Amino acid sequence: MTRVGVIGLGTMGHAMAVRLLRRGHHVTGWNRSADALGRFTAAGGTAAATPRAVARCSEVVLVATSDEQALREVTEGDEGVLAGLAGTDAVLVQTSTVAPEAYRRLSAALPPGAGLLDAPVMGSVDAVLAGRLTVFAGGPPELVRRCLPVLDDLGPVCRTGPLGSGSAAKLVANAALFGVLAQLGETLALADGLGLDRDTAFEVLAATPLAAQAERRRPSLEKDEYPTRFSLRLAAKDMGLIREAARRHGVELRLGEATSSWVERALAAGYGEEDYTVLLRGASRAPRDADPRRRDSA
């Protein structure tokens, strides 16, 4: 059993905390929302008053925030995670999808003796609870090995290299995922335009590299329902990180720019809080740009 802290008990953070509780770890958590903290304690977790308090009683501290600004808010300051790590040899495991450069700031502020891993995760809530989350672990090999009793309980660990490489790997993975989804939507739109019925279109796709994605996404398309597991708003944030990373390193992403246009159109149509797979709606209907109730204020 490891004493684990979880900072950020949103959709993924809560699922990770529950999975670790089920695997026998002692989990202490914090979230700025009282409702989320209540769900966590109802599942058997121990609540703490501040991120600092979580870090003080943990051997491994997982941070799961929506973006880099939220990461700074929970790690910095007198009541932040970094203050709680002072004088300990605990390891901070940052699981959020942020730019690789965010680790330079964290690393520079890390108290002596404490460790830092760059370990963003990929997978659905169902994957977390089943222990099939993919963990991209970047950092010193000895710290990765030390955290394996926790990370292995979340799912397969892909060791990516030095600090920052985990975030780089996550951006690469998301670029591929978003691109395939946009390609599927565009291909189905082409099938519609050419007059193929949906059954025929899916039969054709079954003979292509898009087969697995087509089969997986077909129920959502047919029902026009996209239950939120990973919101389009967060996908748009990640797409922005991908584009910025490519720009900084002089990499041209022609397909990435096209994918980004699909994301931006769906955001403009007001789908920001729906699952990112709502991108596929473009294959079956025009965006509802005229409906102000669907506007996403993010």
Instruction: Using alpha carbons, select from 139, 207, 185 the residue that is nearest to residue 283.
Output: 185
186, exposed or middle or buried, with CB in 10 Å at 0-12, 13-18, 19+? middle
- What confidence score (pLDDT) does residue 291 get? 42
Average confidence (pLDDT) over 82-92 = 96
Residue 36, φ and ψ in degrees, nearest 5: -65, -40
User: Is residue 52 within 8 Å of residue 78, measured between CB atoms?
Assistant: yes
3-state secondary structure of 130: coil
Q: Binning pLDDT at 50, 70 and 90, where does residue 284 land?
A: low
Query: What span, in angstroms and rounded, lies between the C-alpha atoms of 111 and 135?
Result: 25
Length of the chain: 298
Q: Give the C-alpha distances (Å, rounded to integers) separating 38 from 45, 47, 93, 95, 143.
A: 9, 8, 23, 22, 32
CATH superfamily of 168-294: N-(1-d-carboxylethyl)-l-norvaline Dehydrogenase; domain 2 (1.10.1040.10)
Strand duo 115-118 + 157-161: pairing:
unpaired
Over the chain, what is the mean pLDDT? 91
Q: Where in the chain is the domain with CATH 1.10.1040.10?
A: 168-294
* Angle, alpha carbons 127-66-139 (nearest 5°): 75
Q: Binning pLDDT at 50, 70 and 90, where does residue 293 land?
A: very low
Q: What CATH fold (topology level) applies to the domain 3-162?
A: Rossmann fold (3.40.50)
Q: Is the pTM of this model over 0.75?
A: yes
Q: Where in the chain is the domain with CATH 3.40.50.720?
A: 3-162
Q: Which structure tokens are listed for 297?
A: 């204020």
Among left, alpha and beta (phi > 0; psi -120 to 50; other), residue 8 is left
- What confidence score (pLDDT) does residue 219 get? 92
User: Is residue 56 within 8 Å of residue 3, measured between CB atoms?
Assistant: no
Query: What span, in angstroms and rounded, lies between the C-alpha atoms of 270 and 249?
Result: 32
Tell me the per-residue pLDDT of 187-200, one tens digit each, with 9 for 90 and over.
999 999 999 999 99
Alpha helix positions (H), the chain: 11-22, 34-42, 51-56, 68-75, 81-85, 102-109, 125-129, 141-154, 165-193, 198-205, 211-223, 232-248, 254-268
3-state secondary structure of 101: coil
Q: Which structure tokens are listed for 92?
A: 């901070």
Tell me the per-residue pLDDT of 204-252, one tens digit each, with 9 for 90 and over.
999 999 999 999 999 988 998 888 888 999 999 999 999 999 999 999 9
Q: What is the 3-state secondary structure (H, E, C) of 144-157?
A: HHHHHHHHHHHCCE
Q: Which structure tokens are listed for 160?
A: 């990516």
Q: Binning pLDDT at 50, 70 and 90, where does residue 283 land?
A: low
